[in-house]
Copies of this chain bind each other. A is one copy, B any other.
Amino acid sequence: MTTYYNEHSKVFVSVDCIIFGFEDKKLKLLLGKRHMDPGRGEWSLYGGFVEEDESLDDAANRVLYELTGLRGLYMKQVGAFGAIDRDPGERVVSIAYCALINVRDYDQKLLNEHQVEWVNLENLPELYSDHNDMVTKAITLLRRRISSEPLSFNLLPSLFTLTQLQNVYEAILGENIDKRNFRKRTKTIDYIEKTDKIDKITSKRGAALYRFNKQAYIDDPIFKL
């Protein structure tokens, strides 16, 4: 039961993107140093203000596109952050969004252009404002969801080996997984399909490449890994 608008104050609303990537068996985050005040020089998530003509989701996708040049990425709202003085300049409410991208899809030139880099989650620096809280919450959600939703594939190329897939789970959950048990489980999942292609890059013997059959998942959306 809201009361009349004009008795109330407006605030800035922004979105901040927690962008996860995966490389060298490690989870990474795309971070940059702020190049404006307040907080100039501090490590920060990449964000932007929500404009009049766009929804929150649109704003998050726009910001992500500006940074990566990629569209249609997996993205999910993490939550709204609204402490009074969370932004040192003005009152800004920010909606955090979490994205999962395949590091190899990300154009290296853009790293320099936007002055961002992939930072290992393990040695996360102190971030601007409440961005550390945002990251913490995003990781909690990611850990909870990774076993019941097919998110892991977003962090990998469309063709991947079972070892790569297992490495993603180990990085996110922060624990070692038994190889035989893991592969046994993948075998029961119909839409993790073995292709006839072989990856010869990471091993001498070569490893079978698998792919995620999205349509098969949509037809029977049960996931447990």
Contact = CB atoms under 8 A, between A and B. Distances in A.
8 contacts: A2-B36, A2-B47, A5-B89, A9-B51, A11-B50, A13-B93, A55-B82, A93-B93
Nearest to A116: B1
A59 to B, nearest CB: 8
Given A2-B14, A13-B13, A49-B8, A84 B54 contact: yes
B1 A90 contact: no
Contacts of A89: 5
Given A1-B36, A1-B47, A3-B48, A13 B82 contact: yes
A82 B49 CA distance: 13
Nearest to A93: B13
A12 B10 contact: yes
Interface of A: 1-5, 7-14, 32, 34-36, 44, 46-57, 59, 77, 79-84, 89-93, 95, 114
Q: Top 10 nearest A-B pairs by Cβ distance?
A: A56-B82, A10-B10, A8-B49, A80-B80, A80-B95, A55-B83, A5-B90, A9-B52, A55-B82, A2-B47
B56 A93 contact: yes
B2 A50 contact: no
Contacts of A2: 14, 36, 47-49, 92
A36 B2 CA distance: 8
